[in-house]
Amino acid sequence: MSAAILSNPTFSSSFHGRRLLIRGNSKRSTPCRFTFKSPRCAVDTPYEGNISKFPRTSVWDPYKRLGVSTDASEEEVWSARNFLLDQYASHERSAESIEAAFEKLLMTSFKNRKKTKINLKTKLKKKVEESPPWVKNLLSFVEAPPAVIVLRRLFLFAFMACWSVMNSAEAGPAFQVALSLAACIYFLNDKNKSVPRAAAIGFGALVVGWICGSFLVPLIPSFLLQPTWTLELLTSLVAYVFLFLACTFLK
């Protein structure tokens, strides 16, 4: 077989040429190098695939970024934010841009509401200052307690009213009225630290409420009332309202 290969003039000449080339290059100190251009790994290259990007990421105005008008309500801002997040939640930068615009609009809305409350307080204060002297003297006896205190006392007197209505067929509301008066005096004394003053305001509220109830109850149509609801019961319900107002809003 080797004889057949050497007898082939084309192969033999190419073979001898390669041997001469190798001998001529054998004096080089470094071996022959081959450079390969290997493909980059798929992890090294960013891959977006079919993930959609938010087109208004670089828009500075938060209203324009969310696609709402400047007079949009909070519900419209919330709906725009939820709609955009459903579309671009898979793209992190887009979701961050949408959330940033939404938070900025919430802060703006909070500041506007705070300014509105301050303006209302300022207007009320100016009206009080411009009111007649007798109005100022009347308002000096009134205060606005925290909402928690108002709700607690409202619940107490509402309970007394329900108790009176439930026992209307058995007995009168005398016991419930006495408890309500005692509670009113207790709350007033806790506020101004004066038992005589608290007792005077409490009894005064009860008397005024009973007198107003005596005039107002007969004006109620009879078909709106239950047969067991007596005049005394309905008058006591009006008295509960006056006792609640006295111990909650009077100084």
- C-beta separation of 186 from 201 below 8 A: no
Binned at pLDDT 50, 70 and 90, residue 89 comes out as confident
Q: Look at residue 154 and tell me whether its pLDDT is greater than 60.
A: yes
Report the chain's terminal Cα–Cα distance, integer Å.
Answer: 125
Report the pLDDT value the prediction gives residue 219, as an integer from 0 to 100.
85
Structure-token pair, residue 195: 């038992």
Among 152, 202, 201, 155, CA closest to 177: 202
Cα(251)–Cα(143) distance, integer angstroms: 6
Closest to 233 measured CA to CA, from 154, 156, 160:
160
For the stretch 103-122, pLDDT in tens is 888 888 777 777 676 666 67
pLDDT band of 16, cuts 50, 70, 90: very low
pLDDT at residue 106, rounded to an integer: 84
Q: Determine the average pLDDT of the residues in 114-137.
A: 64
Q: Is 142 helix (H, G, I), strand (E, B) or coil?
A: strand
- The letter for the amino acid at 60 is W
- Residue 14 C-alpha from the chain's centroid: 87
Residues 6+ apart with CB under 8 A from 167: 173, 176
Q: What is the mean pLDDT of the chain?
A: 76
| 99 pLDDT higher than 70 | yes
**Range of weakest confidence among 11-20, 57-66, 141-150, 175-184:** 11-20
Region 153-159: mean pLDDT is: 94
* Alpha-carbon torsion, ordered 17, 20, 21, 23, to 10 deg: 160
Helix axes 174-192, 231-249, angle to 10 degrees: 10
Residue 203 clears pLDDT 70, i.e. is over it: yes
Q: What is the pLDDT of residue 108?
A: 82
